[in-house]
Structure 1
Amino acid sequence: MAVSEYLLVRTLHVLTASLLTGGTALLWLAFRVDDVAVALLTWFEGFFWAGAGLIVFTGLGNLVAFGVPGPGTTRGAALSIKLGVIFALVVGSLVRTFAVARYGRADVQAVNEDDDWLRQLYAATGWGLAAIIVLAGVLARGL
């Protein structure tokens, strides 16, 4: 790959992670303020999973560009923890997505702030993404 391709891959990776983290935080805040339209939640879930796929593929591109760190190194440990957090985030996001789909099938127009568990799922997603971003910084720069 040319240097410009690596730059594009890294840019897409960071931009997508930022958009997913910011979008999740905005939805979490929206739950605290007012009812949230199920159509908006459904749209975000599609965006989230498309973005998650893009992050996985660009993350693999970053590993090709920078090399996979050894398991005995700090970067290797950070990568292992990051992959574990990603797995937990995906499982939690599946639960969240199915919850939103259930609202869509029930013809609910908006989810109100009384549905605290859905707001907590968005908060957990945001915190998970923030943890992944911190671990990405360790991978990129070390401790």
Structure 2
Amino acid sequence: MSTNHLTHIPRPGGMPAGGGYTHVVTGTGRWVAVSGQLALDLEGRLVGPDDPLAQARQVFANLGRCLEAAGATFDDVIRLTYYMADVSHLQQVAVARNEVMDPARPPASSAFQVVSLVSPEFLMEIEADAIVPAGRDIPDPVS
């Protein structure tokens, strides 16, 4: 399935169907890498202690702000990497992801259960890679 500058290959020949992810996403344009984001509000306070859905929604809000700063949107995301304190929270992460991304065109993704994140109150950290179409400028930075 091709959409503008990205091509999703959800099931390459000989591969099983992916569950909530695309096996391969490729595209043309400018690459954007977004560092792992935590569930922090604008003042640096944790959002949603012990609430994986609230934390996931905040993480995706933060990812969206970072993507916007690079002239990208969630439609440009080709890969998400999830670092989870408890992989059972992936269901809530999928809910939050599907609120900002088209579930019919999920990005490539990897998920890892880790022993700990930077602090025990964080349940997840998510990073993103995107490809922005040629010609889309980076907006002026806002302090």
TM-score range, shorter chain: under 0.3
Larger Rg: 1
| More strand per residue | 2
TM-score scaled by structure 1? 0.26
Structure with more relative contact order (C-alpha pairs < 8 Å, separation 6 or more): 1
TM-score scaled by structure 2? 0.26
| More helix per residue | 1
